[in-house]
Structure 1
Amino acid sequence: MLEQLLIFTRGGLILWTCKELGNALKGSPIDTLIRSCLLEERSGAASYNYDAPGASYTLKWTFHNELGLVFVAVYQRILHLLYVEDLLAMVKREFSQIYDPKRTAYPDFDETFRQLKMEALARAEDLKRSNPNPVAGNVKKQVQGNNKSGLEGGNKKKSGGVAKEGGGKDGDGGNGRRSENGHSNGNFVVAKDANLSSDVNGRQNGSPNVGAFDVHKLQKLRTKGGKKVDNAAAKASKAEPNKKVIKKNRVWDDAATTETKLDFTDHSAEDGDRNIDYVVADQGESMMDKEEIVSSESEEEEEEEENVGKKRKPDAKNKGWFSSMFQSIAGKANLEKSDLEPALKALKDRLMTKNVAEEIAEKLCESVAASLEGKKLASFTRISSTVHAAMEEALIRILTPRRSIDILRDVHAAKEQRKPYVVVFVGVNGVGKSTNLAKVAYWLLQHKVSVMMAACDTFRSGAVEQLRTHARRLQIPIFEKGYEKDPAIVAKEAIQEASHNGSDVVLVDTAGRMQDNEPLMRALSKLIYLNNPDLVLFVGEALVGNDAVDQLSKFNQKLADLATSPNPRLIDGILLTKFDTIDDKVGAALSMVYISGAPVMFVGCGQSYTDLKKLNVKSIVKTLLK
């Protein structure tokens, strides 16, 4: 049974909802769909699953991009209603004919919806009667074909039956439609495309299609080109005789080694005499407080290059220059998916070259296609520029934080409540948690905030000494209990010590751990649950591509699975390290934000305390699309 059907604008104004259904939804599936799917550019997915206490819903939707309308249907997940997609398409067609931007209520649409629903139900019943058991019928036909025509004929019929959806009579399998989870009339069939679904935490699961490879083509290529390759190799071997590789002796430069000797002397006494003002004057101002300006000259040059490229290349392979030019002048009635595919393919390849994970680039392109399909192309506008603008808006929307990330304001708010502001740094091994923790401490010191470090990495050798060195150089207190201690207890005692001595912020350093390390992930979950920090920062490298998706998704999954409370704490923000080593390969920032929904709060760009800055969203988007 259909639970709810809503029609609202992209601005959030509800125009019509079905009063006939009148079912009170448990939880807030519509709000969660907008927040976790539509606003995060996941609208290309086939459906969305929402779990609430006592209920599990499936949501399906469609857009009318020209009018800016969204049509959403909600039903119980266990029902697998087959008529929902047809009903949404019919409602979209009928409502678009009576839609007026000046109207905010449509009570006259109730009777129209009632008729449309009856028509959709009747059509679904006819499909069930015409083919009650498509899989069994298909198998029966295949067995009969094997008995009559022998093994060869039976195999041909069997392969032909599998090629059809559900094994029906007329190409579409007599099935008509198939539900999004691969079920058709209560029977499991192999779906063509793996459908993606997301739960409340925003996690998505999908399985890519695997296509067959023709071995005969490979054999032909080998027979055609094998002789040429062999001849070329023979000529190369004759032209270049074998040379004996002689190992060169290493020359040690005595002068260089004597000039740059390592200093092993203990400067702890000298460092102890320094104060905070001297360290600040020595290091300079943190880059967090400097605004990065994106030059407009480079943007104009890129626009000129793009315009030149657009003149050279047509929009699609099958369209000539005159067709594309006429389309850009006169405008196109409605954009179709086939019109968008070439431009989206080019954008997907460009994003992947910038280190964006492949599955995320594909989902972004699907979402952009869903937002443009059916939209009218303006005059003097090319399809490639329209797709480029839509992708730019999508990337800005993803990377722009949807909540306040002003840590200084939150620190002062906690100070008014007379409790320290606690930040926990988590991440995999070797990403630079301790170093960037010291950078954050240095930035907070410049804003007259008292900081205390907590050495909760009791697993790695030298971790406490490393943090102690940073604390001594910055002249801030450090709480440590040595090694082989429970990090959750150490963090709890550090927070209590900070409350006694009046520290405003406690920066908790944790051990690096791989996302698949069960004992260490369990210890991290215990630390977060026991101390309830104000901010959980995931420290990740800007060098990773697809691995960023695996790291963040599994960290969030482990924190959720191992938590003992019904509302587990997940990753709140991201600190991206080694950002100065990647040139234009900035795709890891997009991958991490997209998979977790957490904003990038800090960017590490060097090895000194001042090398910490904010993420410039416009600069990142410009780099991704150039």
Structure 2
Amino acid sequence: MIDLVSIITTGGVILFYKALCQIKEDVLGKVIDGCLQQKTSLQLGSMKVQWVILNELGLIFIVSYQEIFFIQYIDVLLKMLQTQFKQIYNPAIKQKGIYKSIPEFDSGFEEVMKMWQLYCDKRSEKEKEGPTRTQDQQQEQFSTFEPKVETGNTPNEEPNDGQQKLSKSEIIKMKMQQKSGTRSPKDGAKSPQDGAKSPVDSRSPKQSVIMNTNITKKQIDSLDFTSKGQTQVQSNQNEKYMTQEQEDDLLKQFIGDDDPLFGSDDENPKQQKKQGLFQKLTGKIQNLTGNKQLTEEDLLPVLDDFKNALMQKNVAEEIAQKLVDSIKTNLLATKTKAFQSIRTSVQEAMKSTLTRILTPNRHIDIIAEALRAKEKQKPYVIVIIGVNGVGKSTTLAKLGYLFKSQGFSLMIAACDNFRAGAVEQLKTHGQCLGIPVYDRGYKDDPPEIAYQAIREATIKKIDVVLVDTAGRMQHNEPLMRALSRIVTMNNPDLVLFVGEALVGNDGVDQLVNFNKALIVNSPKDNVREIDAIILSKFDTVDEKVGAALSLTSATGKPILFVGVGQKYTHLKKLNVNTVVRALLQ
């Protein structure tokens, strides 16, 4: 059934490997790749591989099998492996990244396989039996049982006076005698106990059946399942086998007592349905009448639904979790309003929190700030930063069109001399917009190019200078230091981070690390940070607008504009109410 069972660390160290057949595929390598993609199973030809990650110990438990066998309860096997291996695994065996010893798990593995097989057998029996009958139902069925005895009389005839009706105790003895394998004397054979011959060796269809009543005391005692006899038989059985309760207790040690195998809710579905309906009606009445004090049990299901909905809208998981935790803290021990459900209360709190997060603490009006800089006869300088391919140059051209339409004179500084064609791209935008582009080719240092562009704009009394920078990944420290030099050397009026609306967790990581690089590499007397965010490609996400919430919540930086297309006019202010409605739909 099972082809492979293995336990490895998240770093790839093999702690246990048991191949029950020849394995041709690189299962462990494929599993590690799958973990990076946040998968929990994969298909390798005809082989199905499932695994579970134990984050607290940094372990991965792997099971593979042939899919054609339709093996069930693999998740239970993985859980049993976790429970058993945790008893012998000590994280202290890893010192300075080196494992000093590998725990022995062969005997533990054998025990797990036995318990898993027992679990599979008990689950199969439970599914075949269906709902458990109550004691009253069993007693009712037993009390209506009557043995079928052929009397030779017609259906309308009364039984013979000599034919005595069997008592209940005699019925029990007869049934147990049949179960124990003793042949009935009516078959014409000798009884194995006393060798008595049946009074009737052969009979005609109308001949009465005479049952043998010559039962010995030994036979009666062997069929005695009253308290005394049952205790003696049970004690003999316990010497060889575990009782049902012992098996269940042992299984609970591996999988817990909340498994469906031990659940009693399924035994009486009608009662469960009645209780569920009563609870639902009670909850609805309390919600309608109001003044229901909210508990954690009330809030958790609703908050989980909201968290999943936010993550589906591209909100980073960490941000979504912090948000629901904050709302739970605020709503605990409060009371619902009259004629208001719990979901409505949570939704109102969520709406208020989302609006507060997306509403900027600092109001940035680039047109007003540019006018103030113009009055001081100095150019208003904006530096555009971000990772590769997010649309920095296109966003810069849209900003140029915005300032141009307001009557400002502009200059573009081409400081991206790393990407081939970057300078030519800016010159094309400059020709379309009628904006001069200052460049020094692909040789000079970008901070020096920006400095010379600002100096020339000051001499020519140009109002606004837009500085384009090369895209770079947030974890590349040399390039991040070079970017910081552009900001610290030229001290721009505004530093704008351009991020994609398509990303979730990656966008948060990019923004946080860019902002951290600016802070770390700034002089102590003039610490610079990212001032605002522009979200590009906002028109491609439809209702998945969660990146706006993730980026704003992670750093508290406001979203200045969103790009909604490829044309120069496709740069809009973020509508907070629209984003909140999309997140709560």
What is the letter of the counterpart of residue 289 of structure 2?
A
Question: Which of residues 496, 502, 507 in structure 2 aligns to 1:543?
Answer: 502
Query: Aligned partners of 1:458, 1:318: CA distance in 2, in Å?
Result: 69
Query: Aligned partners of 1:581, 1:218: CA distance in 2, in Å?
Result: 52
Question: Which of residues 275, 291, 298 in structure 2 aligns to 1:332?
Answer: 291
Determine the structure 1 residue equivalent to 2:439: 480
Are 2:500 and 1:512 equivalent residues in the alignment? no
Contact 2:286 2:292 (8 Å CA) reproduced: no
Are 2:455 and 1:496 equivalent residues in the alignment? yes
Question: Which of residues 336, 354, 371 in structure 2 aligns to 1:412?
Answer: 371
- CA gap of 1:327–1:488, structure 2 versus 1, over 3 A, is same
Deviations 1:469-494 (A, max 9, x none): 11111111111111132111111111
- 2:471 aligned counterpart, secondary structure: coil
What is the letter of the counterpart of residue 565 of structure 1?
K
| Offset of residue 513 of structure 1 | 0.4
| Offset of residue 331 of structure 1 | 2.1
| Offset of residue 221 of structure 1 | 12
Contact 1:464 1:482 (8 Å CA) reproduced: yes
- CA gap of 1:222–1:621, structure 2 versus 1, over 3 A, is farther
- 1:422 aligned counterpart, secondary structure: strand
Contact 1:539 1:575 (8 Å CA) reproduced: yes
Determine the structure 2 residue equivalent to 1:384: 343
- 1:449 aligned counterpart, secondary structure: coil
Question: Which of residues 405, 413, 418 in structure 2 aligns to 1:459?
Answer: 418
Query: Aligned partners of 1:404, 1:319: CA distance in 2, in Å?
Result: 52
| Offset of residue 567 of structure 1 | 4.6
Determine the structure 1 residue equivalent to 2:491: 532
Deviations 1:186-234 (A, max 9, x none): xxxxxxxxxxxxxxxxxxxxxxxxxxxxx8799679979xx9xxxxxxx
- 1:380 aligned counterpart, secondary structure: coil
Are 2:295 and 1:362 equivalent residues in the alignment? no
Contact 1:571 1:596 (8 Å CA) reproduced: no
Deviations 1:10-53 (A, max 9, x none): xxxxxxxxxxxxxxxxxxxxxxxxxxxxxxxxxxxxxxxxxxxx
Determine the structure 2 residue equivalent to 1:62: none
| Offset of residue 329 of structure 1 | 2.4
Query: Aligned partners of 2:565, 2:522: CA distance in 1, in Å?
Result: 35
- Structure 2: which 5+ runs fail to align? 1-82, 91-111, 125-274
| Offset of residue 518 of structure 1 | 1.1
| Offset of residue 606 of structure 1 | 1.1
| Offset of residue 458 of structure 1 | 1.5
Query: Aligned partners of 1:353, 1:318: CA distance in 2, in Å?
Result: 31
Are 2:412 and 1:471 equivalent residues in the alignment? no
Are 2:519 and 1:560 equivalent residues in the alignment? yes
TM-score by length of 2: 0.53
Higher relative contact order (CA 8 A, sep 6+): 1
Query: Aligned partners of 1:622, 1:221: CA distance in 2, in Å?
Result: 52
| Offset of residue 566 of structure 1 | 4.8
Determine the structure 2 residue equivalent to 1:447: 406
Are 2:390 and 1:437 equivalent residues in the alignment? no
Across the two proteins, how many residue pairs are aligned to each other?
329
| Offset of residue 337 of structure 1 | 2.1
Determine the structure 2 residue equivalent to 1:598: 557
Determine the structure 2 residue equivalent to 1:102: none
Query: Aligned partners of 1:446, 1:332: CA distance in 2, in Å?
Result: 56
| Offset of residue 565 of structure 1 | 2.5
Query: Aligned partners of 1:317, 1:379: CA distance in 2, in Å?
Result: 24
Determine the structure 1 residue equivalent to 2:580: 621
- 1:387 aligned counterpart, secondary structure: helix
Query: Aligned partners of 1:409, 1:533: CA distance in 2, in Å?
Result: 16
Query: Aligned partners of 1:583, 1:539: CA distance in 2, in Å?
Result: 19
What is the letter of the counterpart of residue 539 of structure 2?
D
Structure label with greater radius of gyration: 2
Question: Which of residues 348, 351, 354 in structure 1 aligns to 2:307?
Answer: 348
- CA gap of 1:221–1:351, structure 2 versus 1, over 3 A, is farther
Query: Aligned partners of 1:432, 1:449: CA distance in 2, in Å?
Result: 23
Query: Aligned partners of 1:541, 1:317: CA distance in 2, in Å?
Result: 46
- CA gap of 1:221–1:365, structure 2 versus 1, over 3 A, is farther
What is the letter of the counterpart of residue 509 of structure 2?
D
Question: Which of residues 528, 534, 541 in structure 2 aligns to 1:569?
Answer: 528
Query: Aligned partners of 1:221, 1:461: CA distance in 2, in Å?
Result: 66
Contact 1:459 1:484 (8 Å CA) reproduced: no
Query: Aligned partners of 1:218, 1:480: CA distance in 2, in Å?
Result: 74
- CA gap of 1:468–1:365, structure 2 versus 1, over 3 A, is same
- CA gap of 1:317–1:579, structure 2 versus 1, over 3 A, is farther
Correspondences of 1:303-314 after superposition (within 5 Å): none
- 1:499 aligned counterpart, secondary structure: helix
Contact 2:303 2:346 (8 Å CA) reproduced: yes
TM-score by length of 1: 0.50
Determine the structure 2 residue equivalent to 1:320: 279
Query: Aligned partners of 2:564, 2:467: CA distance in 1, in Å?
Result: 21
Determine the structure 1 residue equivalent to 2:380: 421
| Offset of residue 320 of structure 1 | 2.2
Deviations 1:59-80 (A, max 9, x none): xxxxxxxxxxxxxxxxxxxxxx
Query: Aligned partners of 1:462, 1:536: CA distance in 2, in Å?
Result: 24
Determine the structure 2 residue equivalent to 1:583: 542
Aligned-pair identity (%): 53
| Offset of residue 422 of structure 1 | 0.7
What is the letter of the counterpart of residue 339 of structure 1?
D
- CA gap of 1:497–1:329, structure 2 versus 1, over 3 A, is same
What is the letter of the counterpart of residue 561 of structure 2?
F
Correspondences of 1:122-133 after superposition (within 5 Å): none
The root-mean-square deviation of aligned C-alpha atoms, in Å, is 2.9
Query: Aligned partners of 1:222, 1:430: CA distance in 2, in Å?
Result: 54
Deviations 1:293-337 (A, max 9, x none): xxxxxxxxxxxxxxxxxxxxxxx9898221211211232353222
